[in-house]
Structure formats: C-alpha cells, structure tokens
Amino acid sequence: MQLSGYTDKMHTSLESGVAQYKLSFDDAELDISALVGKPIELTFSQQIQCSACGSMTKKSYSQGYCWPCANSLARCDLCIMRPETCHYYQGTCREPEWGESYCFSPHIVYIANTSGIKVGITRKTNTPSRWIDQGALSALPILEVNTRLDSGRIEKTLKSFVSDKTNWRKMLMNEVKPAELIPNKAILLGEIPSLINELSAKPLSDDVINIDYPVIKYPTKVVSLSFDKTPVISGILNGIKGQYLLLDCGVLNIRKFSSYHLTISA
C-alpha cells in the first residue's frame, strides 16, 4: 500500500470509546489506526504547499501556512491561541467575516485529563476531536457560551485554579493518573459565580467522555522525530495518541507537518 499527497492534521472521531484516526493525502484518506502494530515508512518530498493560498513555501508557519498567509489570516492571529485577547470589537480583526463565523459561535469550556487536569475551550462543533487531539483520557464540558471571547475570559479566570497546559511527554508515555472530573468541575464552578452570571454561561450536564487510544506499546522515553531533519522515517507503528504517531524509533507530531508532501508505504 502506498499513498502520496499534501497532508493535514489527522482527522479524528470517537467510536465506542476508542479514538479513530484518518491521515489525509490531498483527497484520499487512510485509516491509519488500522496500521497499528505494523511497519510503516513516511517520506517527505521536500515540498510544502500553503494550505490557504496553495503557493509553495520553503518553511511552514502556524502549522501549514506560507509567511504572508500566517501574517494576514485571522486563524493565524495570536488571539486564536489566547481567545481572551479577541480584538474584533476594536475593529482590528484581520478577517471580520471569518471571525464572525468562527469566533461568534457557541463555545465550550471544558476540563480534561491529559497529563493531569487542565482547563480548555473549543468550538462546540469541534468535540470530541479537540480532546482526542490533546490525548485526553477523559473530558467533561462545564459551560457553554456564545463567543470565543467569552470562553477565553472564563478559561483565563479558571487558570488561577487549574492548569491550562499538557505535559506532552507524560501524555505520550501515558504517565497519567485517573482523575475525578465531576468533583473538580463543581469546585471550579464554585469559584466563578459572578462571571457565569455576567456572561450568561450555560451550565452543562455531568457527562464525562472517556477516550481509549489505539496503542499497543507506549514509549518509555520520548524522542521527537522531524521531517525537517529526517526526510525518511520508518519503524513499527506502536500506536497513535493526540496528534502523534508513536513509532518504535520515536514520536511524530503529524499536526506540525501539515501541508508537507508525504508518501506513506505500509
């Protein structure tokens, strides 16, 4: 089996509690979960094509864009990483129309157990993919709001009580203790009653989502692989977690190499 094309982050879904992964090559999709346990080889052909404008770029910026697009697209702006800094109301959004559809839509504030309990936000339509992308073992939505800015304001306030970061090495080695999300949710909500009121944030039910990953062996130490240093990467695919392929020779963050032209052989 061989497939070639410009790739993207892995497309994910949850089926019977297990994360499913598809690797895209232009128009084709490969069920890469099915290759766990098998030898694979990935080759980078030294071509990167901006996923927005389609021009060739020597280097990838903001995970898959050329330099001009990374500096002009709203989705590459800092406010996407830090939603509490949304500047739409100042009239300075890079692409107001895009912002209206992307940021002015229902957003969820959640807690998840990735390498410990963390708080995060996502568009309502992006669950459960958001949690799979982060390698969460479990996730619990806590509040729904109408805009990305509002979710960012809540997240920023909750950062005083809980982390917003994942220790990705621990996540990949599966050095993660089980966590009780429901009692933690109750504690966090108890810290911010006035903000919930001010933003008319809607409390969500206590439905914990548990996620298993297609992994037969976790790494005992994390070695990061990169197509920029090693254009041909081959090994046994021991599993997939987050946006990482866990190979016997190291881990590969597929998302980081969005827009790279790759060939996979298995």
- Give least dist CB 52 to Zn ion, A: 5
Does residue 128 have a cis bond before it (omega within 30 degrees)? yes
Rounded to an integer, what is the distance from CA 114 to the centroid of its chain?
12
Q: Closest CB to Zn ion among 56 and 182?
A: 56
Q: Closest CB to Zn ion among 65 and 227?
A: 65
Amino acid at 176: V
Q: Closest CB to Zn ion among 102 and 161?
A: 102
* 50 counts as binding Zn ion under rule CB under 5 A: yes
The interface mask with Zn ion, positions 66-95, x = CB under 5 A, is: x--x--------------------------
- Give least dist CB 66 to Zn ion, A: 4
Q: Which stretch binds Zn ion (CB under 5 A): 10-18, 49-57, 142-150, 245-253?
A: 49-57
Q: Which stretch binds Zn ion (CB under 5 A): 16-24, 32-40, 43-51, 186-194?
A: 43-51
Residue of 28, 34, 53, 182 that binds Zn ion (CB under 5 A): 53
Q: Which stretch binds Zn ion (CB under 5 A): 11-19, 60-68, 90-98, 103-111?
A: 60-68
Q: Closest CB to Zn ion among 34 and 53?
A: 53
Q: What is the DSSP letter of 266?
A: -
- Give least dist CB 49 to Zn ion, A: 9
- Give least dist CB 8 to Zn ion, A: 15
* 56 counts as binding Zn ion under rule CB under 5 A: no
Number of residues located near Zn ion, criterion CB under 5 A: 5
Q: Comparing C-alpha atoms, which of 162, 157, 141 is closest to residue 198?
A: 157
Task: Express the helix, strand and coil content of the chain in percent, nearest 5 each.
Answer: 30, 35, 40
Residue of 48, 52, 117, 201 that binds Zn ion (CB under 5 A): 52
* 196 counts as binding Zn ion under rule CB under 5 A: no
Listed in sequence order, the residues at least 6 apart from 15 whose beta carbon sits closer than 8 Å to its beta carbon are: none
Alpha-carbon separation of residue 224 from 54, 96, 118, 256 (angstroms): 28, 37, 23, 11
Q: What is the DSSP letter of 201?
A: P
Q: Write phi, then psi, for 221 (nearest 5 degrees).
A: -140, 155
Q: Which residue has the tokens 């709203």?
A: 74
| Interface contacts to Zn ion, rule CB under 5 A | 50, 52-53, 66, 69
